[in-house]
């Protein structure tokens, strides 16, 4: 038996690309020159991803400005000053605010697959942002002539298109819900998106939750999984990618997860921590998987990284070398555990 193992998505961008994006913004390089940098970064990321042996890979989200803002990047219907996300180390990331309707995606995630699939020889997955995250763009005081209900209708439609185009391109989809620990009220909105898919389609859709990672810090680690899971597992998907390795009490979380691992659900537990600079060993990963397998039936278990390695495009707190070293440990440790569980 081989347990499935998948990444979450992002890999830190190469320094030349981060500089190139800045130069393009300042008018110092052309769109063609930037495109070359993007393509080089995607090709190199996929090559290194495949070298780790990971059976499923991503393009490292090299083209996403961030996991949350790629659909609105370049929109002229935004102003600064939206919801601010405070991280534990004191830094913040602020979302913009919508200034007018109708709400339309500028970029669909499937567009990233066009260049990624040229370079990949193993299956790709594609992460999309949850509708609940983008719902934060609508101003609290409302917009004249564009009600919150109209906005949500447009948002649900665009988010479903985002997923549908990825499925049509033949990849599996992961919905990034990294505000997940605040998500109770957002389940309904995300299910409105998921309800537009058949059971067969939903088998190729998963959801990722974590306390949010940026610049080696988190924003909602103090919200207990015991409060989150009842809402999370109301989401109508089959695959759950859950941050676990950095939890202070893994056994307690595994017990909660074990109770949810029923039916056709598969739970991918985080076995490497992108925020911790230390590289996990394959043996440590193996032991974490074996620990998880005592709570979650191995037929419903998989492994993942706790989070992406750089959900925001300019975050260079983790090096590419350590991201790939951690992924290699995940792949090797999962294979070691599979051998134990299979034998
Ligand atoms: Zn995450």
Helix (H) or strand (E) holding 110: helix 110-119
pLDDT on residue 303: 98
Contact 331, 52 (CB under 8 A): yes
Q: Is residue 120 part of a domain?
A: yes
**Tokens describing residue 200:** 């067969």
Q: Is residue 4 part of a domain?
A: no
Task: Provide the pLDDT confidence category of residue 183 given band limits of 50, 70 and 90.
Answer: low
Give residue-wise pLDDT tens across range 99-132. Answer: 999 999 999 999 999 999 999 999 999 999 999 9
* Separation of CA 87 and ligand 1 centre (Å): 13
The domain tally of the chain equals 1
Query: Which ranges of 28-76 would DSSP assign to H, the alpha helix?
Result: 31-51
Q: Is residue 47 part of a domain?
A: yes
**Tokens describing residue 111:** 């567009």
Instruction: For residues 193 and 134, give the distance between their C-alpha atoms in angstroms, rounded to a whole number.
Output: 13
Q: Is residue 3 part of a domain?
A: no
Q: What is the mean pLDDT of residues 25-43?
A: 97
* Separation of CA 216 and ligand 1 centre (Å): 12
pLDDT at 80 over 80: yes
* Separation of CA 207 and ligand 1 centre (Å): 10
Identify the domain containing residue 82 by its residue range.
15-342
Q: Is residue 2 part of a domain?
A: no
Q: Which residue from 228, 240, 110, 127 is spatially nearest to 180, judged by alpha carbons?
A: 228
Task: Provide the pLDDT confidence category of residue 95 given band limits of 50, 70 and 90.
Answer: confident
pLDDT on residue 222: 62
Give residue-wise pLDDT tens across range 253-308. Answer: 999 999 999 999 999 999 999 999 999 999 999 999 999 999 999 999 999 999 99
Q: Is residue 7 part of a domain?
A: no
Q: Which of 29-38, 175-184, 306-315 has the lowest average pLDDT?
A: 175-184
CATH of the domain at 163: 3.20.20.210
Q: Which residue from 231, 288, 240 is spatially nearest to 263, judged by alpha carbons?
A: 240
Q: Which residue from 112, 67, 69, 55 is spatially nearest to 268, judged by alpha carbons?
A: 55
pLDDT at 89 over 80: no
Instruction: For residues 99 and 137, give the distance between their C-alpha atoms in angstroms, rounded to a whole number.
Output: 9
Q: Is residue 301 part of a domain?
A: yes
DSSP 281: P
Contact 317, 70 (CB under 8 A): no
pLDDT at 223 over 80: no
* Separation of CA 68 and ligand 1 centre (Å): 11
* Separation of CA 199 and ligand 1 centre (Å): 25
* Separation of CA 25 and ligand 1 centre (Å): 27
* Separation of CA 147 and ligand 1 centre (Å): 31
- The residues near 311 (Cβ < 8 Å, ≥ 6 apart) are 9, 10, 61, 66, 67, 68, 176, 178, 212, 213, 214
Q: pTM for this one?
A: 0.94
pLDDT on residue 313: 79
Q: Is residue 9 part of a domain?
A: no
Mapped onto helix, strand or coil, the DSSP state of residue 74 is coil
């Amino acid at each position: 038996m081989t347990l499935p193992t998948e990444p979450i998505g992002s890999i830190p961008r190469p320094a030349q690309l981060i500089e190139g994006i800045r130069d393009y913004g300042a008018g110092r390089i052309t769109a063609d020159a930037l495109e070359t940098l993007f393509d080089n970064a995607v090709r190199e990321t996929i090559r290194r991803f495949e070298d780790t042996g990971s059976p499923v890979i991503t393009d490292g989200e090299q083209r996403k400005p961030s996991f949350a803002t790629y659909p609105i990047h370049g929109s002229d219907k935004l102003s600064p000053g939206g919801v601010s996300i405070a991280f534990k180390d004191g830094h913040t990331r602020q979302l913009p605010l919508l200034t007018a309707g109708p709400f339309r995606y500028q970029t669909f995630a499937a567009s990233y697959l066009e260049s990624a699939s040229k370079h990949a020889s193993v299956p790709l997955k594609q992460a999309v942002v949850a509708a609940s995250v983008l719902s934060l763009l609508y101003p609290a005081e409302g917009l004249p002539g564009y009600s919150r209900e109209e906005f949500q209708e447009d948002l649900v439609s665009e988010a479903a298109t985002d997923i549908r185009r990825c499925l049509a391109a033949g990849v599996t989809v992961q919905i990034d819900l990294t505000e997940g620990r605040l998500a109770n009220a957002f389940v309904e909105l995300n299910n409105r998106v998921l309800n537009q898919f058949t059971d067969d389609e939903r088998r190729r859709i998963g959801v990722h939750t974590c306390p949010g990672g940026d610049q080696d810090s988190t924003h909602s680690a103090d919200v207990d999984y015991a409060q989150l899971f009842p809402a999370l597992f109301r989401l109508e998907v089959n695959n759950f990618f859950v941050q676990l390795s950095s939890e202070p009490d893994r056994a307690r979380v595994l017990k909660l997860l074990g109770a949810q691992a029923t039916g056709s659900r598969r739970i991918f537990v985080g076995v490497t921590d992108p925020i911790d600079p230390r590289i996990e060993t394959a043996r440590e990963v193996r032991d974490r998987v074996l620990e998880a397998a005592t709570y979650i039936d191995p037929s419903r278990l998989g492994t993942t990284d706790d989070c992406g390695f750089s959900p925001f495009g300019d975050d260079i707190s983790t090096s590419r070398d350590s991201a790939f070293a951690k992924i290699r440990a995940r792949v090797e440790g999962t294979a070691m555990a599979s051998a134990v569980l299979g034998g």
